[in-house]
Amino acid sequence: MARQQVASSMLAIALIVGTFAYVPITVQSIGVCYGMLGNNLPSASQVVQLYRSKGINGMRLYDPNRAALDALRNSGIGLILDTANDRLGEFASNPSAAASWVQNNVRPYYPAVNIKYIAVGNEVDGGATQSILPAMRNINAALNAAGLGNSIKVSTSVRFDVIADSYPPSSGRFAQGYMVDIARYLSSTGAPLLANVYPYFAYRGNPNDIKLNYATFQPGTTVRDDRNGLMYSNLFDAMVDAIYAALEKAGAPGVRVVISESGWPSAGGFGASIDNARNYNQGLINHVGQGTPKKRQALETFIFAMFNENQKTGDPTEKNFGLFYPNMSPVYPIRFA
């Protein structure tokens, strides 16, 4: 999974301050991403048991790992299953490759494994973005041919810098035309847009203008969108509503957003601490059931990630996004219910 330095569109959201509060509503679905870039992680069956023991009812897998898929059978855990980025071009150009992937990685498991969404590409950038939509179409056609098209929705997982003009949130629009086409396709199929939303990177990139409490669901700060009068008590909501605004401008106002990743590191860099990570992730769990100021409906959300992963590359924070250590003890106390 690629991590990016925060884009300027993320930085601009939190430039005005004040006060506001929400009335809590019950969370409908909290999942956790199951990253596997570690040489000291527990077995897949132990991991699934940990999910179930903690009441975590959603998982994201970044590739169709056989051990994990087998362990998920009859668990009831809702799954985002990624195709992985390295075959995107092949799926786009070759319908039979897409059909083979579905036959090998979906058909043998569904419905014993509760596959809800297939993510065709994660944070794809550059020229490969032109392969996303044709690959989605071919995977969708393969699901339809297998009789699974009504049960499993096909989407792609994007990072926040697909959004331009995100301040105020109502100004949000897609930065490039390929996302407009994807949005309209999702509207036609009834699938959600999967979005990776990280207030942490916005805060780290601009701590002078973005207050820590606003980035971590703590009280005391408000942003007002003067265009529609909506008030924002946290950066996460402002970012998500900029995505909703972009979907509207693309002619796809009915497309849901599913947060396919969000989290905060507990060590390894500026602003990365156990207290900040606990405040953010517990705040996220407590908050998303009520939706955002623009969309007052439960927001399906997947936290990144289940474990600290010692083989992640890049910034040291990458190794420290986990809710649990590899020995399955919690990095900090957190409640999922």
Between CA 246 and CA 163 the distance in angstroms is: 7
Q: Rounded to whole angstroms, what are the CA distances from 215 to 11, 27, 137, 201?
A: 11, 20, 36, 10
Which residues contact residue 179 at a Cβ distance below 8 angstroms, ignoring those fewer than 6 apart?
158, 162, 246, 250
Which residue of the set 90, 123, 248, 300 is catalytic? 123
Between CA 32 and CA 306 the distance in angstroms is: 6
Q: Compute the radius of gyration of the chain from its Cα atoms.
A: 19
Tell me if residue 207 falls in helix, strand or coil. coil
Which residues contact residue 138 at a Cβ distance below 8 angstroms, ignoring those fewer than 6 apart?
91, 92, 94, 95, 97, 98, 99
Active site residue 309: no
Residue position matching structure tokens 């070759």:
94
Which residue of the set 261, 300, 309, 318 is catalytic? 261
289: nearest Cα among 23, 87, 17:
23
Active site residue 261: yes
Beta strands in 123-256 (DSSP E): 153-159, 163-164, 173-174, 193-196, 223-224, 231-232
H or E element in which residue 257 lies = strand 257-261
Residues with catalytic function: 123, 261
